[in-house]
């Protein structure tokens, strides 16, 4: 019997030795109590053995990367092991956000009726393909555009300083404070932080972020919720708090209503805070790449106030000068504040700034899965709010054009049309495109708006847009 057990152990060890990077096999997912077990197919991304304990880092195929995790061998179904094929690459889930937010037809002005509407107006067609570019021109314009990852000056952090890799040659700057990340290596595919403590919350990160390597070996990284400085122990954080004078983000407070405030932060004037903010955001954003340079960007941080100070809830960034009129480069609501309406509040605030600037705007593409859902919901509610509240004039059906909707909301024309298509409000009738608004759509909209408790009040926004093109240097 003893020999049989020993032989089984040897056999299992031999089998586990065959489980290498690129292999696929069913893995038991972490589940909540009272839920049925799931064994989805997963790919092995890495393996490690510390103090005699063997672990595998797995990515569940067809699941978001935020669910990737380290697992013990007892959660692997090794009898169904699939070896990697030659030149096999992990199938990437196509990010359909850009496609979903850019409609193909129709591209003409629309008029509204609560049931069936009126003839279309003759006006220049909207370019819907890719912000006015053909796929070929987009490919050319994006060629060779790649930005660098942020490596902070660690001398100002409590963690010991380590030599930093030299910066790659300067290349043309891509739009946005974070850009789409297509070139992944095995290091950036693996979460490198176990837990962070931000204020009163302990949060499990979702993705990789290039924090200093020495911080990735400890169980909890402590972050000051006011200046976002990261330290390696609670004692270091307490020592930092005695010296940190901030009780709110640096920069100007441009909005306050009740306990909600927004601060505008210049990436050139507050580099360290801006870089730390990007590092924090990267823990929860997979589709973006960080940069060294925060000078060309503004950051708008939303906070919630109590007697201890202004606590960060989320933020969005935007370019000081955007060639494609993006009003958001990167947007994030921190996990403890998600599903509370703060995401829509951030989006609404970004469009309120666009109204003050007197132009339409759109978020930088591609959007994350959660970002696309939030924007779709905001666009739908905002446009339906206008359509539902239209009043008939002289007994005739109410009328409105796409351009008028854009002027009222500051939402870009392409996004307005794509939203109407998404809601199935556009119909083709007697040779023309019209909008039909059913009672069911109105009832659904009213229920959604009843749940939306927090709104931006334009009267509480004290802000003057700057013409950065005339300021010479940022």
Q: pLDDT tens, 100-132?
A: 444 443 444 444 443 333 333 333 333 323 333
Per-residue pLDDT, 364 = 92
Report pLDDT digits (tens) over 10-47. 555 667 888 999 999 999 987 656 667 889 999 999 99
Mean pLDDT of 311-333: 94
Write down the residue that tokens 């070896």 correspond to: 83
> Residue 471: its pLDDT value, please?
64
Lowest mean pLDDT among 64-73, 91-100, 403-412: 91-100
Is 364 tagged catalytic? yes
Cβ-based burial of 160 (10 A; exposed 0-12, middle 13-18, buried ≥19): exposed
Long-range interactions of 380-383: CB distance < 8 A, separation 24+ = 380/419, 380/422, 380/423, 380/445, 381/344, 381/445, 381/448, 381/449, 381/452, 382/348, 382/351, 382/409, 382/411, 383/409, 383/411, 383/416, 383/419, 383/420
Pull the structure tokens for residue 123.
């006006």
Report the pLDDT value the prediction gives residue 135, as an integer from 0 to 100. Answer: 38
The pTM of the full predicted model, rounded to 2 decimals, is 0.76
DSSP conformational letter for 177: S
The tens digit of pLDDT for each residue in 455-469 reads 999 999 999 998 887
Q: Per the residue annotation, which of 154, 364, 404, 407 is the catalytic one?
A: 364
CB within 8 A of 241, min separation 6: which ones?
Answer: 224
Instruction: Identify whether the C-beta of residue 85 lies closer than 8 Å to the C-beta of residue 35.
Output: no
Q: What is the pLDDT of residues 151-199, one digit of tens each?
A: 333 333 444 333 333 333 333 344 445 554 444 567 788 999 999 999 9
pLDDT at 331 exceeding the cut of 90: yes
Pairwise CA distance, residues 454 & 314, whole Å: 15
pLDDT in tens, 411-444: 999 999 999 999 988 877 777 777 888 888 899 9
Q: What is the mean pLDDT of residues 337-351?
A: 95
Cα–Cα dist 11/26, whole Å: 19
Q: Which two tokens stand for residue 134?
A: 């053909």
319 near 236, Cβ under 8 Å?
no
pLDDT for position 435:
82
The pLDDT tens digits of the residues spanning 352-404 come to 999 999 999 999 988 878 888 999 999 999 999 999 988 887 777 788 888 89
Give CA–CA dist 308/270, Å, rounded.
22
Burial class (CB in 10 A: 0-12, 13-18, 19+), 61: middle
User: Helix, strand or coil for residue 123?
Assistant: coil
Tell me how crowded residue 29 is: count the other CB atoms within 10 A of its CB: 18
The DSSP line for 125-173 is PPP-SSTT--HHHHHHHHTT---PPP---GGGSSSPP-PPPPPPPP-PP
Q: Is the pLDDT of residue 83 over 80?
A: yes
């Amino acid at each position: 019997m003893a020999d049989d057990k020993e032989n089984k152990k040897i056999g299992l060890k031999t089998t586990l030795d065959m489980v290498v990077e690129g292999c696929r096999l069913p893995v038991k997912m972490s589940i909540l109590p009272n839920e049925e077990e799931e064994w989805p197919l997963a790919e092995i991304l890495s393996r490690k053995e510390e103090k005699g304990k063997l672990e595998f880092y797995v990515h569940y195929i067809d699941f978001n990367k935020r669910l990737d995790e380290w697992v013990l061998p007892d959660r692997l179904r090794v009898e169904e092991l699939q070896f990697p094929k030659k030149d096999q690459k992990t199938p990437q889930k196509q990010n359909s956000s850009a496609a979903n937010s850019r409609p193909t037809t129709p591209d003409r002005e629309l008029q509204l009726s609560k049931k069936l509407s009126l003839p279309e107006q003759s006006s220049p067609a909207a370019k819907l393909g890719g912000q006015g570019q053909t796929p070929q021109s987009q490919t050319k314009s994006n060629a060779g555009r790649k930005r660098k990852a942020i490596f902070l000056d660690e001398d100002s952090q409590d963690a010991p300083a380590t030599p930093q890799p030299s910066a790659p040659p300067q290349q043309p700057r891509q739009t946005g404070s974070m850009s789409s990340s297509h070139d992944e290596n095995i290091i950036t595919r693996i979460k490198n932080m176990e837990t962070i403590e931000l204020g009163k919350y302990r949060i499990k990160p979702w993705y990789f972020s290039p924090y200093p390597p020495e911080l990735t070996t400890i169980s909890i990284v402590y972050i000051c919720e006011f200046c976002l400085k990261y330290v390696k122990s609670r004692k270091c954080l307490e020592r930092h708090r005695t010296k940190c004078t901030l009780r709110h983000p640096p920069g100007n407070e441009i909005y306050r209503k009740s306990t909600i405030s927004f601060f505008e932060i210049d990436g050139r004037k507050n580099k360290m805070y801006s870089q730390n903010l990007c590092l924090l955001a990267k823990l929860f954003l997979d589709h973006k790449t960080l940069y060294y340079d925060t000078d060309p960007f503004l950051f708008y941080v939303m906070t919630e106030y109590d007697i201890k100070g202004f606590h960060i809830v989320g933020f969005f960034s935007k370019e000081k000068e955007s060639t494609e009129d993006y009003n958001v480069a990167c947007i994030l609501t921190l996990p403890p504040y998600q599903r509370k309406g703060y995401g829509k509040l951030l989006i609404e605030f970004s469009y309120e700034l666009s109204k003050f600037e007197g132009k339409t705007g759109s978020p930088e593409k591609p959007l994350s899965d959660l970002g696309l859902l939030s924007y779709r919901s905001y666009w739908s509610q905002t446009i339906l709010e206008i359509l539902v509240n239209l009043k008939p004039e002289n007994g005739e059906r109410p009328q409105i054009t796409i351009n008028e909707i854009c002027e009222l909301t500051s939402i870009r024309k392409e996004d307005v049309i794509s939203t109407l298509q998404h809601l199935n409000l556009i119909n083709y009738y007697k040779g023309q495109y019209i909008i039909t608004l059913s009672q069911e759509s109105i009832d659904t909209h009213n229920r959604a708006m009843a749940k939306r408790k927090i709104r931006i009040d334009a009267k509480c926004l004290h802000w003057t847009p700057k013409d950065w093109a005339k300021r010479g240097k940022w």
